[in-house]
Amino acid sequence: MKIIKIKESEIKAVVSQIIKETNTGMFFKYNEFDALKKQILTLLLVAFTGIFSANAQQTVSGVKVDSKLSVEGQSLILNGAGLREKMWIDLYVGSLYLPTKTSNAKDIMDSKDAAAIKLDIVSGMITSEKMISAVNDGFENATNKNTAPLKAKIDKFKSFFKEEIKKGDTFIIANVPGQGVVVFKNGVKKGTIDGHDFKRALFGIWLGTKPADKDLKEGMLGK
């Protein structure tokens, strides 16, 4: 959504012109007239602020992307969001949440701080089998095909996607200090996988040098 910015000076000019054209000033003393202009200007500024704040809410492929996310006691803010597409079909909306914003993918993957990736499924074409296949490909690319050291953890992660996946489902994949990677489906905790090596490879699926979707990576990084 394109956000239109209007300067206060432009609003003042419009208000003054309206008042001038309607000869409102003829009915007031100077001080009263000046006070009236200030009141009108204040009301307009409040109205415009409300309108533009509402428009600033990010929506991707019909999904309202929350500006904040709380996971396991960790408060995170939206770093960026984007769309995973394949053959011109919208598959899911991916949102990245961090303690503070950054566009450095390597720093995000290397960090042991709290972080979360939220996946909102927007296509009925995504099935459990296709998701697991995509996870396999993602880890292959993220590790330069060196998945053997992480095989047990990858298998456990894939098990979180064995149940039927439907349009409207939501997955949250969060790195929680002291716990590891915690996965939720529709608000239900599916399990936890420890190890920073796994977290780094996992986040590399979306943020690595061979990401699942380059445009999605750019969106998550807020670019």
CATH code assigned at 85: 3.50.70.10
Question: What's the whole-number mean pLDDT along residues 169-173?
Answer: 98
Write down the pLDDT at residue 58.
Answer: 87
pLDDT of 40 over the 60 cut: no
pLDDT tens-digit map of 179-194: 999 999 999 999 999 9
Is the pTM of the predicted complex or chain greater than 0.85? Answer: no
* Mean pLDDT, the chain, whole residue set: 83
In which domain, by residue range, is 30 found?
8-55
Q: Are 148 and 190 in contact (CB under 8 A)?
A: no
Please tell me whether residues 41 and 126 are part of one structural domain. no
In Å, how far are 32, 54, 96, 158 from 71, measured between CA atoms?
54, 25, 13, 21
Would 151 be classed as within a structural domain?
yes
Does residue 68 fall inside a structural domain?
A: yes
* Domain shared by 76 and 168, yes or no: yes
Per the domain annotation, does 37 fall within a domain? yes
C-alpha–C-alpha distance, residues 48 and 158, integer Å:
47
Nearest to 183 by CA among 126, 128, 117: 117
Cα separation values, 48 from 6, 44, 55, 177, Å: 9, 6, 11, 41
Residues 81 and 45 in one domain: no
Q: What is the mean pLDDT of residues 166-171?
A: 98
Are residues 71 and 42 part of one domain?
A: no
pLDDT band at 74 (very low <50, low <70, confident <90, very high): very high
Residues 37 and 126 in one domain: no
Residue 123: both structure tokens together: 């296509």
User: 95 and 40 share a domain?
Assistant: no
Q: Mind listing the pLDDT tens digit for each residue in 89-139?
A: 899 999 999 999 999 999 999 999 999 999 999 999 999 999 999 999 999
Q: Do 76 and 158 fall within a single domain?
A: yes
Written as six digits, the tokens of 192 are 């936890």
- Distance separating the N- and C-terminal Cα atoms of the chain: 15
C-alpha distances out from residue 136 to 56, 69, 105, 195, Å: 36, 27, 21, 18
3 in a structural domain: no
Residues 109 and 31 in one domain: no
Query: What is the β-pairing status of strands 74-86 and 68-71?
Result: antiparallel
Same domain, 212 and 122: yes
Length of the chain (residues): 223
Q: Tell me whether residue 122 is in a domain.
A: yes
Same domain, 47 and 87: no
Residue 153 has pLDDT above 70, yes or no: yes
Has residue 128 been placed in a domain? yes
Domain count, the chain: 2
| 199 and 145 fall within a common domain | yes
Please indicate, yes or no, if residue 1 is contained in any of the structural domains. no
Asked if residue 28 and residue 121 are part of one domain, the reply reads no
Lowest mean pLDDT among 42-56, 59-73, 195-209: 42-56
